[in-house]
Amino acid sequence: MKTKEISRLLIGVYMFLSAFVNLLAQEELVSFDNKNKVFKLTPELEEKVNVYSGGGKFKDAELFKQNDSTFILEIHYTLNDKLFRERTTLTLKDITAIRNKLVGVNIAKTQVSDSMEGKGLFLASSLYAGLALFGPTLPILIEPNDAQTGVGLYMLGAGAGFFVPYLLINNKPISYGQANLAYYGYTRSIAQSLLLNYSLGSSTDAKSTYGVASLLSIGEVVGGYHLVKNLNISNGTADLMTVYGDFGFAAGAALASQLDLFHSSTSQLVTVLILAGNVGGLVAGYQLGKNNSISTGDAEIISTSGWLGVYMPVSILAEIFKNNSPKYAWEVTTPMLLTGIAGAYVGHQLVKDYDFSFTQGFVTKIGTYAGGLVGLGMTYMVYRGNDPSVFLIGSYLGAQAGFYFLYKMNIKSIKSETLSKFNFKFSPENYFLSKNLKTSNPQLQGSFPLASLTYKF
């Protein structure tokens, strides 16, 4: 093969790879404000947020989202009658500061752009709901006379659980926050139905439980969709709502134990408090997320830290009540409640100065589980006794070590991205490209350097 043909082949491969990389690295256009109106920053609005400090004349700017904690600010400006583009990496805290400056500003909608990032999770959650909730509900309510009809009704409900939501939101935006609240509603509706029916003194049989759960899940999905849209709830805040919603379940049960309701004749108050705790947790999560810069990864880390706090006194309680059961429920739930609150507080402090991506937070969570297994396994190999508190201590220490290790690794990753302002790029393929352009298009020959050094200010 001749040199000229080789160079053309390399150029073609280079162009293909560049297009492929660009396809994988697509960025989502997002708004500068909290009301999804400003998708292009005009010179008038730029005077309020001051994002450009260059020597040229500001033309406009757009904001692109790479992940939950990283954004790209693209500024267009003119200098000496030439148009230039400048791209800067911003964090979620930077974006929050910009959006706070635009609060109350009278602005017109510049472009319609709706987030579609949550559609996959939303539809996957709908399929789960069809299989686990709507599918069983139809035969339970209808009570068919033969098994074949029952199976058919189950399949019908399971399939409709996916296709009905799909058709309803086919061309509508679904954010991750909306999808996350939908998943939460689908997966918690059975427990909520049991608690609600028992609180109201209604029947708690399968027909009543599944029927109410289906209605509850639909109401929560629709309500969550509109809440996120109307209150401009961020993805991180929605995730934090689900975290505190589960904390609320546990807190309600703990409060019932403080009041010694588990041994009283009015046991319905227990379910009332647990349900109230769930609702209160969702509200608390919204308020905390609204007043703080919380990403989805932050919410996952807060969740993991909180449940680690709940788990911490378990081994001590197992040792204390090894030979005799606790007389009152509060003897167990009180220390777990206090350490759980402490764990959630620690989680908030750990994420205060950072914006973790969902992947970082989720990996930290599952790594904590893995650490617990490692700690339990090592304890099982070393300790030859049968005291359960020893195994629980080993499991907790392993989980805590796993959490700490992955948290530190995430911090190291964030810091390395922040500190790597210098970026050197070597592109040997540009030699062949420039050589080919020398004869075909010489005015573009200098546009493809062999090496480049950039510095982020």
Confidence of residue 265 (pLDDT cuts 50, 70, 90): low
Tell me the sheet residues that pair with 455: 422
pLDDT at 343 over 80: yes
- Written as one letter, the residue type at 409 is M
> Poorest-confidence range of 141-145, 258-262, 294-298?
258-262
pLDDT at 257 > cutoff 80: yes
The DSSP annotation for 262-326 comes to GGSS-THHHHHHHHHHHHHHHHHHHHHHHHS---HHHHHHHHHHHHHHHHTTHHHHHHHTSSS--
Q: What is the pLDDT of residue 174?
A: 87
Q: What is the mean pLDDT of residues 183-209?
A: 91
How confident is the model at residue 419, as a pLDDT? 47
The two structure tokens encoding residue 249: 């379940």
Confidence of residue 113 (pLDDT cuts 50, 70, 90): very low
Which of these, 144, 281, 136, lies nearest to 209 by C-alpha position? 136
Evaluate if residue 122 carries a pLDDT over 90. Answer: yes
Listing DSSP states for 323-369 in one string gives SS--SSTHHHHHHHHHHHHHHHHHHHHHHTT----HHHHHHHHHHHH
Output the six-digit token pair for 336. Answer: 């777990």
pLDDT at 76 over 90: no
- Going from N- to C-terminal start, the domains of the chain cover 31-113
Helix (H, G, I), strand (E, B) or coil at 104: coil
Query: In the prediction, which pLDDT does 445 show?
Result: 56
Which pLDDT belongs to residue 430? 61
The mean predicted confidence, pLDDT, of the chain is 82
pLDDT at 23 over 50: no
- Cα–Cα distance measured from residue 123 to residue 285, given in angstroms and rounded to the nearest whole number: 24
pTM for the model = 0.69
Per-residue pLDDT at 8 exceeds 70: no
* pLDDT tier for residue 45 given thresholds of 50, 70 and 90: confident
Cβ-contact 102, 38 below 8 angstroms: yes
Give pLDDT tens digits for 133-153.
999 999 999 999 999 999 999
pLDDT band at residue 109 using 50, 70 and 90 as cut-offs: very low
- In this predicted structure, the answer to whether residue 14 has a pLDDT above a threshold of 70 is no
The amino acid at 109? K
Task: Report in angstroms the alpha-carbon separations of 322 from 284, 314, 318, 387.
Answer: 36, 12, 6, 9
* Distance between CA atoms of residues 176 and 121, nearest Å: 7
Q: Which two tokens stand for residue 342?
A: 């402490």
Token pair 């608390």 is found at: 284
| Bridge partners for 71 per DSSP | 65, 90
Cα–Cα dist 457/455, whole Å = 6
Residue 375 has pLDDT above 90, yes or no: yes
**Once rounded to an integer, what is the mean pLDDT over residues 222-229?**
91
Which two structure tokens, joined as six digits, stand for 296? 């989805």
- The pairing of beta strand 422-426 with beta strand 70-79: unpaired
Share of the chain above pLDDT 90, in %: 44
Residue 292 has a pLDDT of: 80
User: CB-hemisphere CA count at 13 Å for 85?
Assistant: 6
- The pLDDT score that the predictor gives to residue 210 is 94
Say if residue 437's pLDDT is above 80: no
Cα 290 to Cα 284: distance, rounded to the nearest angstrom? 10
The whole-number average pLDDT for the span 83-107 is 81
Predicted confidence (pLDDT) at residue 290 exceeds the cutoff of 80: yes
Which percentage of the chain shows pLDDT scores above 70? 80
Q: Between residues 36 and 118, which one has the greater pLDDT?
A: 118
Q: Is the dihedral of CA 443, 444, 447, 451 positive or negative?
A: negative
Report residue 94's pLDDT band, with 50, 70 and 90 as the boundaries.
confident
The pLDDT value given to residue 365: 95
- Distance CA(314)–CA(310), nearest Å, equals 8
379 vs 399: CA distance, rounded Å: 13
CA 429 to CA 7: how far, in whole Å? 9
**Residue 381 identity (one-letter amino acid):** M
Q: pLDDT band for 110, please (50, 70, 90 cuts).
A: very low
Tell me the one-letter amino acid at 23: L
Q: 21-35, 271-285, 397-411: which has the minimum mean pLDDT?
A: 21-35
Q: Which of the two residues, 413 and 209, has the higher pLDDT score?
A: 209
Enter the tokens of residue 232: 């401009």
SS3 454: strand
Calculate mean pLDDT across residues 315-340.
85
In contact, 103 and 34? CB cutoff 8 Å: yes
Count the helix, strand and coil residues of the chain and give each as a percent rounded to the nearest 5. Answer: 65, 10, 25
Residue 69: both structure tokens together: 């904690």
Query: How would you class 20 by CB atoms within 10 Å of its CB: exposed for 0-12, middle for 13-18, buried for 19 or more?
Result: exposed
C-alpha count within 13 angstroms, C-beta hemisphere, residue 169: 25
Angle, helix 176-199 to helix 268-291, in steps of 10 degrees:
160
Q: What is the mean pLDDT of residues 95-107?
A: 77
Which amino acid, 42?
T
Q: What is the 3-state secondary structure (H, E, C) of 23-59?
A: HHCCCEEECCCCCCCCCCECHHHHHHHCCCCCCCEEE
Give the lowest-confidence range in 47-51, 208-212, 434-438.
434-438
Top-ranked range on mean pLDDT: pick from 34-43, 86-95, 180-189: 180-189
